[in-house]
Amino acid sequence: MTQFSEAEIQQIKEVHKEIEDIAYDLFLLSETQLEETAGLELLVFATFCFGIINEIALMKKLSSIQTYVITSLLLLTVFHYSEDQIDEIVQELFNTKDEHHPSLMYEITQRGMLGYHQYINDDLNDLKENLLDALAVAKEKGEEVI
């Protein structure tokens, strides 16, 4: 079991709160009801948020383990995945960090990383377009996202 320092725990809490707020803002921005979102669409939102988490982790120099914990917490608290689903999804998301990963999840993760900069720069029109494009491409490709 990994032991975190008080400073690392504080970073996890702060980033988790930040990404939770961003995730809810993404649903509002895209005019999508979280409660009515499931399946592929929900996975696209989660993957986009994972890209945002990765960008925050790079900027704040978080460890892979901290990033893993933050991602797991987000999938549980915002997206309401079960604990069994979370382990599988997080592993798949971490696989998308490899640019040679063959799925569309890599592209959506990259879009999320860009989306973080759009968000913090208050470039909401481009952020909305970025997110809606990711959703459209995923719907077009269907289950090939995973």
For residue 25, being part of any structural domain is answered with yes
What contacts 24+ positions apart, CB below 8 Å, involve 126-133?
127/26, 127/29, 128/29, 128/30, 131/26, 131/29, 131/30, 131/48, 132/30
Quote the strand ranges of the chain, DSSP E. none
Tokens 């079991």 appear where? 1
For residue 39, being part of any structural domain is answered with yes
For residue 1, being part of any structural domain is answered with no
For residue 11, being part of any structural domain is answered with yes
Average pLDDT on 116-124 reads 98
pTM of the model: 0.92
The per-residue pLDDT for range 76-118, each reduced to its tens digit, is 999 999 999 999 999 989 887 666 665 788 899 999 999 999 9
Question: How far, in Å, CA of 71 to CA of 53, rounded?
Answer: 7
For residue 127, being part of any structural domain is answered with yes
Domain span at residue 29 reads 6-145
Domain tally for the chain?
1
